[in-house]
Amino acid sequence: MTQSNLATDQFPAIEQPRRKAEPATRQAIILINMGAATTPESVEPFLYELFVDPLMIQLPLGRFYQKAFARFISRRRAPKMAPHYQEIGGSPLLPQTEDQARALQKLVDVPVKIAMRYSEPRAKGVMEELAAEGVKEVLALPLYPQFSRTTTETSFVELDELAARLGMRVKYVGRYAGDERYVNALKAKWDETIGDRLAGKENVAVLMTAHGIPVIYAKKGDPYLDEVRCTANKLKAKLPPELPVSLAFQSRLGPVEWARPYLDEEAERLGAAGVKTLVMFPITFVSEHLETNYELDIEVADMAKAAGVEEVIRIPTVRDHPIFIDMLADLATKALAS
């Protein structure tokens, strides 16, 4: 009925025993994420901070008019997006990130902090607070499983600049797209959600979803798309083999070409192909936010049903699942001790 569009890229994880961080240097862990608007009034400033970042939005000769572009597009998009935040009751990204930090803190013996790239708490305040407490070395631990210049790298650059000014050192965990434990955490969310709900059903398909990036970014060397396909392939191998699986990309913006297939088009294609039960499975987000609670659960679900799908099941993100948090703790303690 459907064909997989997954590539075969593999990034095998290296399993090592957990070690404690070295006590000689005052250390801390900073969980980094994009952030989110928390109220309708905060949508425009959040969007401005996002669009003014030249690593997130790469404009030709952008340094000459990036700020003007950011002001224009944030003012234009904010009135359209604010009702979406209201409809889902506000973004749950920050409280769920706080849950992840608390769960991680129970497994490590150094302080765990949160730094958002485009909303509070910002890295500047967090780093200054840690410096005042005598911390000399921080580990940047991204809540982005797949590395991209638009997410992981822009946070790393910001932390590097702050550390240089504050006389601190930064270590990094760059990616874990192919880590078997991350894939196992995704599979655990599948098991918890699906159970026997698919028993006896026909015309079922799985649609893995990932945030997209412009194609030109990948052509310039951004590894994100390869790493997404790595995660997708490893996860597909753990799902029931009789289920057709495809991968599509969401959240495109502007007139440029983004990674294909586009999520809305793929959902409509599957409905037109006779799929009656569609399982949407986000594999690049580790917490819920606008792209899951609104784009997936409302927009794309409605499109799929309009195309003939009768039931849409959405797998939740890993959030603070013990398998995921244990992996973060292991990656962090090894990096700090290295």
Count of beta carbons in the 10 Å neighbourhood of residue 157: 14
**What pTM does this model have?**
0.89
Query: What is the reported pLDDT for 7?
Result: 44
Contacts of 307 (CB under 8 A, 6+ apart): 267, 268, 269, 270, 271, 272
Domains of the chain: residue spans and CATH: 27-176+321-337 (3.40.50.1400), 180-314 (3.40.50.1400)
How does pLDDT run across 117-134, given as a tens digit for each residue? 999 999 999 999 999 999
Q: Token pair 């986000």 is at which residue?
A: 282
Q: State both tokens at 222.
A: 């951004």
Q: 277 pairs with which residues across the strands?
A: 204, 311
Query: What is the reported pLDDT for 243?
Result: 98
Contacts of 269 (CB under 8 A, 6+ apart): 261, 307
Mean pLDDT for 261-277 is: 98
Least confident of 37-51, 155-169, 299-313: 37-51
Q: CA-CA distance, 336 to 328, in Å (whole number)?
A: 12
Mean pLDDT for 55-78 is: 81
